[in-house]
Structure 1
Amino acid sequence: MSNNRTKKNVVVRELRDKLEQLELEITCAICMDQRCSIVFQCGHTACVECSNPSKLKLCHICRQIIKRRTTIYT
């Protein structure tokens, strides 16, 4: 019984780690608050507010000039 509980705890811990990783992947790397909803031509993403053309001219990750912004729906 204890071995079964240990296995369940390991599975729960692994699932929590995966969930945390997925949440990080969809969270804006600039503000760390909003979900990413804009993708640039380089493939990197940001939220609508942080990707505003008047604020962000270069990709915050690869520093390419942002020529195109596409809305993504998650």
Structure 2
Amino acid sequence: MAKPDNRKDNVERLQKMVENTKENIEAAEETMDNEHLTAPEKNAIEDKNERRQESIESFKAEIADEKEDRENGRI
């Protein structure tokens, strides 16, 4: 039997995901300072950080939805 959907901690969980993703972006930017990286490696890091930034925006939208549901008693 499947567990019931427990969304009570979704806002906090999503906020932690935003924090972790920001930390990953910062670490990747520090890695880009490595003079031994090739141009393709740097491009790959830049592309990944762009995707990470898009993820952060999605997380923030989901946080807003979850907060609204919480405020309206749907959670």
Q: What's the TM-score, normalizing by structure 2?
A: 0.41
* Structure with greater proportional helix content: 2
The structure richer in strand per residue is 1
